[in-house]
């Protein structure tokens, strides 16, 4: 009868080795919280005028996304515009957020007008769906009436317009976007469809839907506030937050 060869038993790891591996895994979990799970992205749906309530909703959810270790936040935008103070609060938050902020004008038929156009320009990535438009950012008179009547004086209107032009040009310059278009959107109230906005370097991406957007964003490098982010969005899970009626009031 033949002899059976005995297999060589693998040495069992020592307590020290097991402990070392546990430390490595724990360190990886602390340094890279998403490495054991699919990347997650927060998506905010804004389908209304830009108001203090809108600003609070966006600011709070950016903070929540950062604390939840989301890889990015997407603001899905459809707005006719709104208040200057609320717009500036949103822009300050998106430009100083600790994660990339993407503004996506969608769905088809949506618009980023007035304040919405400037919020889009300020994004780390500006995207639009086909059949959308951006622009018409001329400041609206506080008084609500024609110049020289119930509205602002021509001098005040000029001051407000010049301030808006300087503001939007500085944002476009910071984001590497078309400064002349940004100025014309304020001074001449021009409005531009998605594919033309892409050609003019007003935006970065035209995406048919959210899946297409995530596919195009995947692997994109974003430099922001002294940090470099590599977007990992292809298989990311999108967590959508909507403004409720209470939030709008």
Phi-psi region of 81 (alpha: psi -120 to 50; beta: other; left: phi over 0): left
Count the Cβ atoms, other than its own, within 10 Å of residue 223.
9
Q: Is 159 part of the annotated catalytic residue set? A: yes
Cis peptide before 107 (omega within 30 of 0): yes
Written as six digits, the tokens of 220 are: 């994109």
Q: How far is the C-alpha of 152 from the C-alpha of 143, rounded, in Å?
A: 6
CA 108 to chain centre: 18
Q: How far is the C-alpha of 128 from the C-alpha of 155, rounded, in Å?
A: 36
Catalytic hit among 47, 159, 188, 234: 159
Strand ranges of the sheet holding 191-193, from the earlier edge strand across to the other edge: 111-113, 133-135, 191-193
Closest CA to 126 of 236, 239, 206: 206
Cis peptide before 205 (omega within 30 of 0): no
Catalytic hit among 39, 106, 114, 191: 114
Q: How far is the C-alpha of 167 from the C-alpha of 75, rounded, in Å?
A: 21
Written as six digits, the tokens of 236 are: 């990311």
Q: How far is the C-alpha of 161 from the C-alpha of 154, rounded, in Å?
A: 10
8-state DSSP, 122: T
Q: Do 100 and 229 touch, CB atoms closer than 8 A?
A: yes
**What are the residue numbers of the active site?**
114, 159
């Amino acid at each position: 009868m033949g002899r059976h060869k005995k297999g060589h038993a693998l040495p069992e790891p020592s307590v020290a080795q097991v402990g070392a591996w546990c430390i490595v895994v724990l360190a990886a979990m602390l340094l890279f919280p998403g490495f054991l799970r699919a990347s997650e992205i927060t998506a905010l749906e804004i389908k209304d005028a830009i108001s203090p309530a809108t600003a609070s909703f966006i600011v709070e959810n950016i903070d929540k996304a950062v604390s939840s270790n989301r890889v990015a936040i997407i603001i899905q935008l459809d707005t006719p515009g709104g208040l200057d103070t609320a717009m500036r609060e949103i822009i300050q938050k998106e430009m100083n957020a600790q994660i990339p902020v993407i503004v996506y004008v969608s769905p088809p038929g949506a618009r980023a007008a007035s304040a919405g156009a400037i919020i889009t320009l300020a994004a780390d990535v500006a995207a639009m769906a086909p059949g959308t438009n951006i622009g018409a950012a001329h400041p609206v008179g506080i008084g609500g009436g024609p110049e020289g009547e119930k509205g602002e004086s021509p001098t005040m209107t000029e001051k407000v317009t010049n301030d808006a032009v300087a503001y939007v040009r500085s944002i476009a310059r910071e984001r590497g976007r078309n400064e002349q278009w940004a100025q014309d959107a304020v001074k001449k109230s021009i409005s531009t469809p998605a594919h033309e906005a892409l050609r003019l370097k007003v935006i970065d991406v035209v995406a048919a839907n959210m899946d297409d957007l995530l596919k195009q964003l995947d692997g994109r490098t974003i430099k922001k506030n002294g940090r470099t982010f590599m977007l990992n969005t292809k298989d990311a899970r999108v967590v959508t937050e909507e403004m409720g009626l209470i939030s709008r009031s």
